[in-house]
Amino acid sequence: MSVRSEKVASVIKRALVNDVNNLANEHSAGLATITSVKLTNDLHIAKVYISIYGGNAGPGEFLDVLESRSKMLRAELGHKIRLRYTPELRFYHDDTLEQMEHIQELIESVKSPESDKIDSTQE
């Protein structure tokens, strides 16, 4: 990404935080965090990555809510920031935390009791 697109992405992220959190509270989606925003080179499409933790609604359900309200969020974004063209918003689930937890579980499961015995005898 160019420097300009990174700056615009940062501004978009800050502008969307409150609206996304309000929607998460309305729909019992738990804690919704915008992890990153990536813009296309022409700044016409913003890919918004959201991490969702806890709550009654699943990530897919909340992303559907965001998609259905994307025009409203885009209009709000247009009022908050001044750009020649307000980018189209596309929402994606950022499952990095779940992947990290899964990898940690795999690492823990690979540790065998024999390796623990070897470590204790070396001490």
Say if CB 62 and CB 86 are below 8 A apart. no
pLDDT at 120 over 70: no
Residue at 51 is within a domain: yes
Q: Specify the 3-state DSSP secondary structure of 39.
A: strand
Residue at 73 is within a domain: yes
| R_g over Cα of the chain | 20
Give the chain's largest Cα–Cα span: 68
Residue at 107 is within a domain: no
CA distances from 106 to 33, 53, 98 (A): 26, 21, 12
pLDDT at 119 over 60: no
- Over the stretch 38-60, which tens digit does the pLDDT of each residue have? 999 889 999 999 988 877 777 78
Regarding pTM above 0.85, the answer is no
Residue at 123 is within a domain: no
Residue at 106 is within a domain: no
Number of domains within the chain: 1
pLDDT at 35 over 80: yes
Domain that holds residue 77: 3-95
Give the pLDDT band of residue 122 (cuts 50, 70, 90).
Answer: low
Residue at 116 is within a domain: no
**At a CB cut-off of 8 Å and minimum separation 6, what does 31 contact?**
24, 52, 53, 54, 55
Mean pLDDT across the chain: 85
- Over the stretch 64-112, which tens digit does the pLDDT of each residue have? 889 999 999 999 999 999 888 899 999 998 887 778 888 888 888 887 6
Q: What is the CATH number of the domain that holds 11?
A: 3.30.300.20
Residue at 111 is within a domain: no
